[in-house]
Amino acid sequence: MLWFLIAKIYDHIYSLFKAVFKRNLKGIGFLLRQVKNDHILDLNGQQLYFNHKIAGCYVRLVNGKYTEIETHTFIQRIVERFDKEMTFIDIGANVGEMVLDAARHENIKFIYAFEPHPECAKACKISAMLNDYGQKIVVIQKVLSEDTKPVAFDFNTISPNASAIAISSDKQGSMVYPTTLDNELPNTIEHAILLIDVEGAELRVIKGGKSFIGRTLPLIIFEYNDTSKKYFTLENIKQLLGGEYSIFRLRNDGYLDKNYIDTWNCVAINIRSSFYNPVKAFIRD
């Protein structure tokens, strides 16, 4: 319990330092990994299971704070303006932060959470049960890629949230057989928000969902930061999605623009999508 309290206090200092100086303090991961017991966290009124075996995944979460508030803000704005039932698909769900927040919305009727790391998938399942979302959330412990050919997957033991397909030649991992979005998602889905955070394999995931995307025209939120920029460009994404999709930067305030110099997450929207009008309201010059 002592290490848990110390980690929470330091995490608060860490968050304040990052907010003021835009830099990360070292040591928060180390402190979190000293916690040897599981806990139940309060995350914006919901119960989040703290799995001590992957404690490094809970930076900011340990104090009940979202890690990417702008993504939560944007999704909430869109869902509130969308008058149809929808499906939320989280690829790289980690410990379920985004999944839990999506589940609170009544018009999000079903959620698919893809998370290959066994301890992270376990955390997602327990959190779903703690909040009585067992019928709404399905956790799929599989790697997603562009096809089903075996790939090396790095199950990162120090930072499980950095687990990913070993794309570059300097990384190693366990050989696994991946699946694809087209193989996993039913044809009955009509309106979908697709969130992809897979440490540089976003392009592969989109390739593996080409039929699903062409059929449902989902709203796509994907990570595009220093890690992912090593493996693909926005032009690669544009060419794959086609000319009817436009790509925007997701800003820190939850609005969209086309300033691609400083990005963390980007949003792709099809002009024929039922999400187009709700999204258009949040685009800024």
User: In tens digits, what is the pLDDT along the chain, a chain of 285 residues?
Assistant: 899 999 999 999 988 888 887 788 899 999 999 999 999 999 999 999 999 999 999 999 999 999 999 999 999 999 999 999 999 999 999 999 999 999 999 999 999 999 999 999 999 999 999 999 999 999 999 999 999 999 998 888 888 888 888 876 666 788 999 999 999 999 999 999 999 999 999 999 999 999 999 999 999 999 999 999 999 999 999 999 999 999 999 999 999 999 998 999 999 999 999 999 999 999 998
Which residues, in sequence order, are CB contacts of 280 under 8 Å at separation 6+?
none
pTM of the model: 0.95
Topology of domain 69-280 in CATH is Rossmann fold (3.40.50)
Dist. CA 176–CA 163, nearest whole Å: 13
Q: Which residues pair with 40 in a beta bridge?
A: 49
Q: Are 209 and 181 in contact (CB under 8 A)?
A: yes
CA angle 209, 117, 8 (to 5 degrees): 120
Listed in order, the ranges of the chain carrying CATH 3.40.50.150 are: 69-280
Which class for 16: exposed (0-12), middle (13-18), buried (19 or more C-beta within 10 A)?
Answer: exposed
